[in-house]
């Protein structure tokens, strides 16, 4: 027995060392690439946003908040910021409202459930650039089916993507089309998690109508899901880029500029790295702000489940 | 809704009708894309709203799409890039996730904190410095440039860690008793037991990278390296891009692989992307 005790002590210690060594070996590839490809470049981006560096320029100077000051007076950036915020402000609530309605309708019965879920989800897995091209054809001012349908009811042709009055509306429509299925699937997952007995209990307590049951059971219990869906959808909307690149390139006359497209143009077309970095920092700041708000609300309020 | 109390078809009709209208609106772009890809230009440009093609022009449209730009090459590139990215993501993420979930060591909380920090950063943020870096070492316009930035997936680490944590410790102790190294425990014991997480992650990763435009647009210039998303833009820049029928044919061909995969493995796809949405 004594011998065993003597032997066990060093074994335990060496196992702890062995475990730590093994852990470092296992984590090394991930940790190194995490620094080299994500955290390091992000730190570099922050630093670059305080410089006037342009790609190809021999040297760079520290200009402090110079780029950020320029942002406040840059008309293109102001349009991009305003458009991005209104894009989020339109697409996010519409996708969530319609998505919740669709999820409730699909969950409201058994027939064709999988079929509908698959159909609504289809845009999420589809190559957005290709589908944007399909939308371009649908929305074409002369040969597009949408205008031809409208012509049948006497509406004059609309230049959906070519006029500055309509272009953001069109992009928002495509945005809702693209995000709806994502929201539907998340809400369906949230709805199946609600215990069925609660509906029976609510009915016993006098919640006769479907609306009452929604107000008393579904909506409160869906609280945490809704909060997630709001944040995730807002961030997805904030990243709008593909449709802009494929359909409008920010035009006409900057009417459809958005944050990531402005960042892309400044950085990769004009090679103004420092300035583009400052736009990216603004983009990151908005993403972080949204996540912070979510965490705050989560901590404080949504404790139903 | 009580189980087993399926309403009659008649009572169910309003619900189905509403969902049907919505489904039609969702499917409309697919429908017109597909039909236009089967029509000659003269019918597409004709001043009326006809659905079904009078003259089938599929061979011409699809032939032109394939001849004008190397579409098959784009599809191959897309598949290769997605496969390589997924391979490296799992290769890097799974061992780290195992160490974070099941081993006790100093630095674990720090690394996990950094992973959580990484989860907050959209991939557009490091793009600019990465581009400069790849330009410096002359790696632009290569598979390396398309794959390397995504070889680390903080979301993958997070997801696998969750999955590994729920596995019983006895499983791992038993494997150690058998003399397995920690690395072989990861690949031969832990991973096979976390299959749902792995497939969910795989579908999420494949969809994200097949459909990604932003990064390929930045680093790729040549047709030889183009992925499907970029291929669509290249095609439109060519003369054939004005031929709506051929353009729609090209769009159908690059969209089809993901849709077919999705229809084959719906459940996995939805699960994968929904988990990503909820936790990423």
Of B74, B73, B66, the closest CA to residue B231 belongs to B74
Q: Alpha carbon B60 to chain centroid distance? A: 30
Residues of chain B neighbouring A16 (CB-CB closer than 8 A): 104
pLDDT number for residue A5: 44
pTM across the whole model: 0.89
Residue that has been written with the tokens 């425990």 in this structure: B185
Residues A69-110 pLDDT 10s = 999 999 999 999 999 999 999 999 999 999 999 999 998 888
Our count of domains for chain B comes to 2
Chain A touched by B124 (CB under 8 Å): yes
Residues of chain A neighbouring B19 (CB-CB closer than 8 A): 102, 105-106, 112, 116
Q: How many CB pairs under 8 A join A and B?
A: 288
User: pLDDT exceeding 70 applies to what percent of chain B?
Assistant: 94
Residues A174-206 pLDDT 10s = 999 999 999 999 999 888 888 888 888 888 888
Tokens of residue A244, six digits: 């802009």
pLDDT number for residue A178: 94
pLDDT number for residue A194: 85
Q: Are residues B138 and B257 in the same domain?
A: yes
Q: Say if B4 falls within a structural domain.
A: no
Q: Alpha carbon B164 to chain centroid distance? A: 24
Mean pLDDT computed over A114-131: 93
> Among residues 223-252 of chain A, which lie with CB inside 8 Å of chain B?
228-229, 232, 235, 239, 241-242, 245-246
Helix A2-34 and helix B71-102: axis angle, to 10°? 150
Residue contact A37–B152, C-beta within 8 A? yes
Q: Say if B147 falls within a structural domain.
A: yes
Q: List, in sequence order, the alpha helices (H) in A144-272.
A: 145-152, 167-192, 197-204, 210-213, 219-221, 223-238, 242-243, 259-264
Q: Are residues B87 and B147 in the same domain?
A: yes
Tokens of residue A269, six digits: 């077309």
pLDDT band of A277, cuts 50, 70, 90: very high
Q: Are residues B81 and B30 in the same domain?
A: no
Q: Are residues B220 and B96 in the same domain?
A: yes
In chain A, what is the straight-line distance between the N-terminal and C-terminal CA atoms, in Å? 52
Tokens of residue B230, six digits: 């970029």
Of B245, B62, B44, the closest CA to residue A144 belongs to B44
CB atoms within 10 A of CB A9: 9
pLDDT band of A7, cuts 50, 70, 90: very low
Q: Say if B2 falls within a structural domain.
A: no
Q: Are residues B59 and B80 in the same domain?
A: no
pLDDT number for residue B276: 64
Q: Are residues B18 and B115 in the same domain?
A: no
Q: Say if B200 falls within a structural domain.
A: yes
Of B92, B49, B205, the closest CA to residue A25 belongs to B92
Given its phi and psi angles, is residue A111 left (phi above 0), alpha (psi -120 to 50 degrees) or beta? Answer: beta
Q: Are residues B36 and B84 in the same domain?
A: no
pLDDT number for residue A192: 84
CB B155 within 8 A of CB B122: no
pLDDT at A20 > cutoff 60:
yes
Q: Are residues B114 and B210 in the same domain?
A: yes
Q: Are residues B138 and B225 in the same domain?
A: yes
CA distance A73 to A204: 61
**Positions of chain B with pLDDT lower than 70, given as ranges:** 1-6, 47-49, 240-241, 276-280
pLDDT number for residue B277: 58
> Among residues 20-59 of chain B, which lie with CB inside 8 Å of chain A?
22-23, 25-30, 32-33, 36, 44-45, 48-49
> Among residues 129-148 of chain A, which lie with CB inside 8 Å of chain B?
129-131, 133-135, 137-138, 143, 145, 148
**How far away is chain A from the Cα of B111, in angstroms, using its nearest Cα?**
8
CB atoms within 10 A of CB A241: 19
Q: Which of B4, B9, B125, B261 to mutate to test the interface with A (most CBs of A within 10 A)?
A: B125
Instruction: Tell me which residue range forms the domain holding B268.
Output: 68-279
pLDDT band of A301, cuts 50, 70, 90: low
Tokens of residue A226, six digits: 């809704």
Using alpha carbons only, how large is chain A's radius of gyration in Å? Answer: 26
Q: Are residues B142 and B35 in the same domain?
A: no
Q: Which of B24, B45, B65 is the last residue of a domain?
A: B65
**How far away is chain A from the Cα of B65, in angstroms, using its nearest Cα?**
13
| Residue of A14 and B69 predicted with greater confidence | B69
Q: Say if B166 falls within a structural domain.
A: yes
Q: Which of B25, B50, B65 is the last residue of a domain?
A: B65
Residues of chain A neighbouring B122 (CB-CB closer than 8 A): 235, 239, 283-284, 287
pLDDT number for residue A3: 47
Give, as one character, the DSSP assignment of residue B6.
Answer: P
Residues of chain A neighbouring B1 (CB-CB closer than 8 A): 108-109, 196, 199
Q: Alpha carbon A228 to chain centroid distance? A: 11
What torsion do the CA atoms of A268, A273, A279, A285 make, to the nearest 10 degrees? 120
């Amino acid at each position: 027995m004594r011998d065993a005790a003597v032997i066990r002590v060093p074994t335990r210690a060496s196992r702890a060392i062995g475990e730590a060594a093994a852990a470092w070996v296992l984590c090394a590839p991930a940790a190194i690439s995490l620094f080299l490809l994500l955290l390091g470049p992000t730190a570099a981006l922050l630093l670059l946003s305080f410089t006037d560096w342009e790609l190809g320029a021999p040297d760079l100077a520290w200009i402090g908040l110079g780029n950020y000051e320029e942002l406040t007076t840059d008309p293109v950036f102001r349009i991009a910021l305003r458009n991005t915020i209104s894009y989020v402000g339109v697409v996010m609530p519409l996708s969530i409202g319609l998505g919740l309605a669709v999820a409730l309708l699909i969950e409201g019965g058994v027939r064709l459930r999988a079929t509908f879920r698959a159909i609504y989800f289809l845009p999420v897995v589809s190559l957005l650039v290709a589908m944007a091209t399909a939308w371009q054809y649908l929305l074409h001012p002369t040969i597009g089916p949408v205008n031809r349908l409208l012509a049948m009811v006497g509406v004059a042709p609309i230049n959906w993507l070519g006029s500055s009055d309509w272009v953001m509306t069109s992009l928002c429509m495509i945005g809702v089309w693209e995000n709806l299925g994502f929201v539907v699937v998340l809400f369906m997952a949230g709805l199946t998690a609600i215990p069925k007995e609660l509906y029976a209990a609510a009915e016993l307590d006098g919640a006769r109508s479907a609306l009452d049951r929604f107000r008393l059971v579904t909506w409160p219990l869906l609280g945490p899901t809704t909060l997630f869906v709001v944040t995730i959808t807002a961030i997805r909307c904030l990243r709008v880029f593909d449709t802009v690149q494929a359909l409008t390139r920010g035009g006409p006359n900057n009417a459809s500029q958005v944050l990531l497209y402005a960042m892309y143009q400044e950085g990769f077309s004009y090679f103004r790295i420092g300035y583009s970095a400052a736009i990216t920092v603004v983009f990151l700041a908005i993403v972080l702000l949204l996540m912070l708000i979510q965490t705050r609300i989560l901590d404080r309020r949504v404790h139903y489940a | 809704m009580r189980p087993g109390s399926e309403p009659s078809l008649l009572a169910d009709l309003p619900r189905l009708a509403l969902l049907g209208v919505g489904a039609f609106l969702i499917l409309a772009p697919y429908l017109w894309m597909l039909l236009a890809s089967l029509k000659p230009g003269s019918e597409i440009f004709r001043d009326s709203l006809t659905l079904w093609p009078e003259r089938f022009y599929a061979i011409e449209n699809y032939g032109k799409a394939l001849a004008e730009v190397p579409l098959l090459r784009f599809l191959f590139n897309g598949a290769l890039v997605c496969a390589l990215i997924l391979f490296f993501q799992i290769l890097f993420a799974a061992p780290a996730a195992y160490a974070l979930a099941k081993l006790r060591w100093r630095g674990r909380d720090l690394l996990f904190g950094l992973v959580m920090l990484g989860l907050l950063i959209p991939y557009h943020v490091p793009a600019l410095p990465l581009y400069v870096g790849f330009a410096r070492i002359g790696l632009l316009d290569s598979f390396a440039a398309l794959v390397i930035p995504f070889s680390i997936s903080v979301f993958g680490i997070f997801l696998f860690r969750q999955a590994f944590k729920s596995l019983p410790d006895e499983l791992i102790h038993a494997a150690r008793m058998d003399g397995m190294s920690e690395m072989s425990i990861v690949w031969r014991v832990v991973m096979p037991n976390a299959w749902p997480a792995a497939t969910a992650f795989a579908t999420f990763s494949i969809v994200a990278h097949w459909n990604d435009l932003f990064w390929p647009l930045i680093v790729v210039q040549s047709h030889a390296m183009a992925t499907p998303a970029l291929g669509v833009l290249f095609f439109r820049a060519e003369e054939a891009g004005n031929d709506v029928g051929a353009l729609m044919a090209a769009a159908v061909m690059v969209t089809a692989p993901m849709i077919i995969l999705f229809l084959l493995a719906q459940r996995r796809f939805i699960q994968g992307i929904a988990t990503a949405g909820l936790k990423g």
